[in-house]
Amino acid sequence: MSHRDYRTHKPGILFSKNTNSLTASIASLYEIISHKKIISHAEKKEKLDAKIISLGNITFGGSGKTPHAEFLAHYLSEQKMKPGIVTGGWGGDKRGDGILVSDGNTILADYKSAGDEALSLSKNVLDCYVPLYAHRNRILGAKELINQFNCDIIIFDDAFHFVSIHKDADILLIDSTNPFGAGPLPNRGIMREPIQALTRADAIILTHSDQVDKTTIQQIEKHIHDTEYDNPVFTSSFIPDYLECSDGTELTIDDTKKLNLVPLSGLGNPQSFEKSLADIGITNPNPIRFNDHHSCTQSDIEKINSAVKEDSADGIITTLKDWIRLENQADKINSRIYILHSRIEIENDFLSWLTTRI
């Protein structure tokens, strides 16, 4: 394990394959209670004046919901629809009351009020003029977008567990590299709901499918279908696209081969980010890892500077989500900062399926 792993909790480690019966029972009980609470809200579904596409998961941590929301926003805009995005605004101090993060032309909030994911997503969809609202209550957020911008289709980022809303396409994302807690087998520890909850989904996308072999994909699909799930299963991949330097310049992926960079992330699944870097030739045995949504302190900045000096590195490489939290302290970092931009590729049949739903 990296000696630069500063996470105070590591998903999938506390409840691993060797977990004892007590902790497994506690985790299982949590899943059951959470699932029952969710289902209790399913009797009456509110139908909004717009089509609804929901993205979500049944695990804690990163499965790629936000990049897939970006993918859908661009696709729907290309189809001459008027999409809007509603996120939960996780980490933002205005998520309870709701906040308009972007009107599709201008960013109107910062990450402290809206959350890092909402802000990074807003920036990535400015080129297709998609407004974004952050609200703990997805229904209220959607109504704001419909009323203010006449959106005819709403993308919910992280709303699988919101069952009181009528959804035209309820899409569940499963991370192929860590689908149910520890490898391809269902396991306790990072589950929001029991695996059987996935039968609510209209479709499932296995994300990061490029980072595992075909046998693993087949194993995951088998466990999915063992729950009596009988809807489509698609796969998607994260493709590194280009690098943006903190000074505003852009580099091609080929340019990175000349650089010695230290990976830095505060993500739910840092290993996936690091694997994407390794695929383009950026490797480091000691990447810097912080908790998901972590905001760096002065002590953290000192650790970053020490790591760059220790490795005689040309700089650090991070994600847009991390850069948003780091940007206001960039002048304290004694090296260049590179931001990796990636794009989503989903198998072609997915868009054909989606068309039938909306």
119-157 pLDDT per residue, tens: 999 999 999 999 999 999 999 999 999 999 999 999 999
Here the tokens at position 180 are 């149910």
> What is the pLDDT at residue 340?
96
Residues 55 and 169 in one domain: yes
Number of domains in the chain: 2
> What is the pLDDT at residue 11?
53
> What is the pLDDT at residue 34?
53
> What is the pLDDT at residue 192?
77
Please give the radius of gyration of the chain, using alpha carbons only, rounded to the nearest integer.
20
Q: Could you give the percent of the chain with pLDDT greater than 70?
A: 86
The pTM (predicted TM-score) of the whole model is 0.86
Whether 278 is covered by a domain: the verdict is yes
Burial 238-249 (b: 16+ CB within 10 A, else e): bebeebbebeee
Q: What is the DSSP string of 294-357?
A: PPP-HHHHHHHHHHHHHTT-SEEEEEHHHHHHHGGGGGGSSSEEEEEEEEEEE-THHHHHHHHH
Q: 253-304 pLDDT, tens per residue?
A: 999 888 999 999 998 889 989 999 999 999 999 999 998 888 899 999 999 9
Q: Are 41 and 127 in contact (CB under 8 A)?
A: no
Q: What length is written for the chain?
A: 358
H-assigned helices in the chain? 21-39, 65-78, 111-114, 116-124, 138-149, 214-226, 270-279, 298-310, 320-326, 349-357
Here the tokens at position 30 are 């949590």
Whether 29 is covered by a domain: the verdict is no
Query: Exposed/middle/buried for 309, CB within 10 Å: 0-12, 13-18, 19+?
Result: exposed
Whether 41 is covered by a domain: the verdict is no
Residues 349 and 325 in one domain: no
Can you give the residue range of the structural domain that contains 329?
240-344
Q: Given the structure tokens 């209670």, which residue do they identify?
A: 33
Residues 212 and 244 in one domain: no
Whether 5 is covered by a domain: the verdict is no
Euclidean distance between CA atoms 302 and 261, whole angstroms? 17
Could you report the average pLDDT of every consecutive run of 10 residues in the chain (358 residues)?
Answer: 72 44 48 55 80 93 88 98 94 87 97 92 96 96 98 96 94 92 48 86 97 96 94 96 93 91 91 92 93 90 96 96 92 95 94 97
